[in-house]
Structure 1
Amino acid sequence: MSFLLSLSRFIDSLNEKIGHGISWALLLAVLICTGNAVVRYVFNMSSNGWLEIQWYLFAAIFLLATSYTLRRNEHVRIDVIVSHFSKRTQVWIDLIGFIVFLMPATLLILYYGAPYAWISIQNQEVSSNAGGLIVWPVKLLIPVGFVLLALQGISEIIKRIGYLKGLVPASAFEKQAATPEEEIAAIKAANQIN
């Protein structure tokens, strides 16, 4: 089990780094979107390439941050119902959900998404829009994103089993979001520095 827990920590670390890195794509997308709007309305010019890069950045954010979201336990769930159960029961519900729903769906999308991306790479697919971009890099994000999600799913399964065996504390997979009080304290601290 120690090897599996080490593997889980490695996967968590990988997805944390990717999640933090891809957060810059959001800033870039906002800047490009703003620039596009200004150029379009002030100079009456537009570019399909700049519009498509916004879509590509959104795809990257969505596909590459999904595993980060799962890692931080901030995915969509039914906390209203599950919160009434004991921690052990909640862990069993998570474990069943990961094994029965997450992993099969992820592997199914990988099964169809990898050939879809591979065909695009082989054909060096380019957008059909005038001035559009190459398409295969964004299609490659599909299998990459779902490989990361599958790995994070494996990590979450390992942590839940470790918890049930008494080897992992619940803090290893509980929500990582700050409480409102912690967020206010962080904002105050940041304002004092500036």
Structure 2
Amino acid sequence: MNHSATAATPHKIVTLLDTIAEITGTTTAWLTGLMVIIASVVVGLRHLFNIGSIGLQESVTYMHAAVFMLGAAYTLKNDGHVRVDILHKKMSPSTRAWVEVLGSLLFTLPVMVLIGWGSLEFVRESWRIHEGSTDSGGIGGVYLLKTLLPVMAVSLSLQAIAELLRNLLALMNLAPFPSASAAEDSSC
């Protein structure tokens, strides 16, 4: 069996997982504009007409949570998470790949398992009672908001697996090393 046939399946997995993160990130990104509009409406109503809306205020919180929780995998895919770039950009491509592999195995995946597993009972109980806002006029779907915790853990785990495979393929000379240009561009 040749190297290209051996690497075909991992490449397809990486492409699939990257696509999932890309679609999720770009579809939830529109919520940021909606958040600005709704927050402006809330402020305008409050200051111009002395009208408050708990539901509108909470909707901004829900959207904010969705953007961060559902956008985490997209951010990882696009190398946007925080790192010590001054060290990272000085490393060779193979050293960077090893750091990414170890980071996925020793940090990202275990933390996501902890968050995902640890949030299941929390979310299950919230769904059981159909938890809603504690404020009158608030949004009734707190259980939906809490569901973002395990969803984020799964999506970020899947993208961490994509990054792990991408770097392992590079270390095995079955794919080019991921570019460090994004990290170098953001280190200013």
> Taking structure 2 as the reference length, what is the TM-score of the superposition?
0.90
Query: Which residue number in structure 1 is paired with residue 156 of structure 2?
Result: 149
Maintained 8 Å contact 2:89/2:180: no
1:159 aligned partner: 166
Cα RMSD for the two superposed structures: 1.8
Q: Residue in 2 aligned with 1:50?
A: 56
Distance 1:174 1:65 in 2: 21
Q: Is the 8 A contact 1:15 1:67 kept in 2?
A: yes
Matched, 1:27 2:44: no
Supply the AA of the counterpart residue of 1:168. A
Distance in 1, Cα, partners of 2:125 & 2:64? 22
**What is the TM-score with the length of structure 1 in the denominator?**
0.87
What is the number of equivalent residue pairs in this alignment? 179
1:126 correspondence with 2:127? no
Q: Name 1:14's counterpart in structure 2.
A: 20
1:2 to 8, 13, 16: 8
**Native 8 Å contact 2:28 2:70 kept in 1:** yes
Partner residue in 2 for 1:78: 84
Percent pairwise identity: 30
For 1:99, the equivalent position in structure 2 comes to 105
Contact between 2:94 and 2:177, CA under 8 Å: does it hold in 1? Answer: no
Shift of 1:117: 1.3
CA deviation vs aligned residue, 1:21-48 (integer Å, no higher than 9, x gap) = 0110101111100000000101101011
Aligned residue number for residue 168 of structure 1: 175
Structure 2 unaligned spans of 5+: 1-6
State the Cα distance separating 1:55 from its structure 2 match. 0.4
Gaps of 5+ in 1: 181-194
Q: Which amino acid aligns with 2:166?
A: K
Deviation at 1:161, TM superposition (A): 0.3
Post-superposition offset of 1:175:
5.2
Question: Residue 170 of structure 1 aligns to a residue in which SS?
Answer: coil
**Separation in 2, partners of 1:119, 1:9:** 36
Instruction: Tell me the distance in 1 between the aligned counterparts of 2:58 and 2:163.
Output: 34
Cα deviation per residue 1:98-118 (whole Å; 9 max; x = unaligned)? 110111001100011122112
- The corresponding residue for 1:189 is none
